Amino acid sequence: MLCIGILPKKFTPGAQIRSPQGGRPPANGEALVEFGAPVALRRFHFGRCSTIKTKFGVMGSAGGEFMPEIMAQAFRLGEQIASHECIVLTGACPGLPHQAVLGARKHGGLVVGISPALGLDEHRKRYLSPYQEYDIIIFTGSGLMGREITTIRSCDIVAIVGGRSGTLGEFAVAYDEGKVIAVLQATGGIADHLPEVLKVIDKETGAEIIYETDPAALVEKAVACHERRIAAGTAYLGPRTTI
């Protein structure tokens, strides 16, 4: 159901507000959500819009040599994300994130890629990146580093698998913006050194970090953490970074 109304200057979810057409007020557990000047009325459960799927990002090494067991772990991560009916979101790159894409596709999961390229031709030829396995590719034209902001801000949960300098940058954005971060340990690279990095950072941002070596346990705990945030009304508030 969708009703259109006008958002008042002061609004409390559940307040008795009717649509301009004289429709019923929001029922218990519903709220008005702003989209520009008008608002849309959608059903909420503990602050979650029932039409919104959880976006589970997978960030990790796009290049280098990978041990078969680490590639298998990334594949299983994608399978588990899809089994929880979450959207898999990556930087539309090869390597470990692409293994997660393949795992998700095997289980019918929806896959979205955030490309650094201006279009498909550049995505394929300049960045040598996959595209056929994706349901949606968003072309940012921002380059490898520039697209990191778009990628991370599009995620509800950010998984770290292996990783080098690019993944470290993505982790830094996710941590500074208070994301739920799921670290798949024993995959090498940045993923196995984040506890040391956090000691050096020494800053509280509201981020919640989960460490696991088992993809199934990692996804289960990360989704539960996100659901707790939904229940608390903090899941969609945006960055809460302190300088």
What domains lie within the chain, and their CATH numbers?
A: 3-49 (no CATH), 55-232 (3.40.50.450)
Yes or no: say if 103 and 78 are a contact pair by the CB < 8 Å rule: yes
Residue 238: band (very low, low, confident or very high) from pLDDT cuts 50, 70, 90: confident
Tokens of 29: 């557990």
More confident residue, 21 or 125: 125
Residues 30 and 23: beta-carbon distance below 8 Å = no
- Number of helices and strands (H, E) in the chain? 7, 11
Between 8 and 199, the more confident residue is: 199
Write down the residue that tokens 């799927």 correspond to: 53
Given a cut of 80, whether residue 26 has pLDDT beyond it is no
- Please report which confidence band the pLDDT of residue 37 belongs to, taking 50, 70 and 90 as the band edges: very low
> Is the per-residue pLDDT at 13 higher than 50?
no
Predicted TM-score (pTM) of this structure: 0.79
Using CA atoms of 90, 93, 95, 101 in order, give the dihedral in degrees to the nearest 10. 40
Average pLDDT rounded to a whole number, residues 62-72: 94
**CA distances to 35, 47, 101, 132, 211 from 113, in Å:** 24, 27, 9, 11, 24
Segment 213-227 shows an average pLDDT of: 98
Q: How confident is the model at residue 240, as a pLDDT?
A: 65
Phi/psi for 231 (5° steps) reads: -60, -35
SS3 label, residue 167: helix
